[in-house]
Amino acid sequence: MKKIIAFGASSSKTSINKTLAVHVASKVADTSITVIDLKDYHLPLYSVDVEAEIGIPEEARKFDEIIKSADGLIISLAEHNGTYTAVFKNLLDWLTRIDMNVWKGKPMLLMATSPGQRGGASVLAAAKSYFPFMQGNIIADFALPSFYDNYSSAGISNKKLASELNDKVELFEQSLEK
């Protein structure tokens, strides 16, 4: 059975991006899902001086091993001031010090959501343009606007968005079979 890693790129206890990532992961057929919470990874704020002093933290190595172990990745990015949350950017910085090929070519379903009408479109665009330099293999991407209007415990309530997402989940499933 294929192994999927899912996480929201946020450290919020009530992360809507984690909610979305977990929901979408549950729709992928015949896979085992491991949900990661970024707040469980305690990493110092990256600087070249801290790295020279302490080396690469064990927690960053653990995260890198988890990515290695995955057959596919489902990530939903929280947007802070148009870009990555500090916790995710910090994690990325540490991960690139282990291996610049952070995403290791694993098929990725890349998403973002926010309470606003753009649904994290800016952070999604940033990741879409840069992840390929880190061996990001983005199979499909999706931004869910106005999370609190378009999502309920039953899933995505907006039919058009739900159908768009289903098509993308299918593409992602197919990529896992290759």
Ligand X SMILES: Cc1cc2nc3c(=O)[nH]c(=O)nc-3n(C[C@H](O)[C@H](O)[C@H](O)COP(=O)(O)O)c2cc1C
Residues near ligand X (CB under 6 A): 8, 10, 12, 15-17, 78-82, 114-116, 118, 120
Q: Shortest approach of ligand X to residue 56 CB, angstroms?
A: 26
Task: Indicate the residue among 135 and 150 with the shorter CB distance to ligand X.
Answer: 150
Task: Indicate the residue among 86 and 171 with the shorter CB distance to ligand X.
Answer: 86
What span, in angstroms and rounded, lies between the C-alpha atoms of 86 and 90? 6
Q: Shortest approach of ligand X to residue 178 CB, angstroms?
A: 30
Q: Shortest approach of ligand X to residue 125 CB, angstroms?
A: 12
Task: Indicate the residue among 32 and 152 with the shorter CB distance to ligand X.
Answer: 152
Task: Indicate the residue among 20 and 176 with the shorter CB distance to ligand X.
Answer: 20
Query: Residue 93: what residue type?
Result: D
- Contact at 8 Å (CB) between 78 and 85? yes
Q: Which residue has the tokens 């890693």?
A: 5
Helix axis angle for 86-98 and 58-69, nearest 10°, is 80
Q: Shortest approach of ligand X to residue 139 CB, angstroms?
A: 22
22 burial level (CB within 10 Å; 0-12, 13-18, 19+): middle
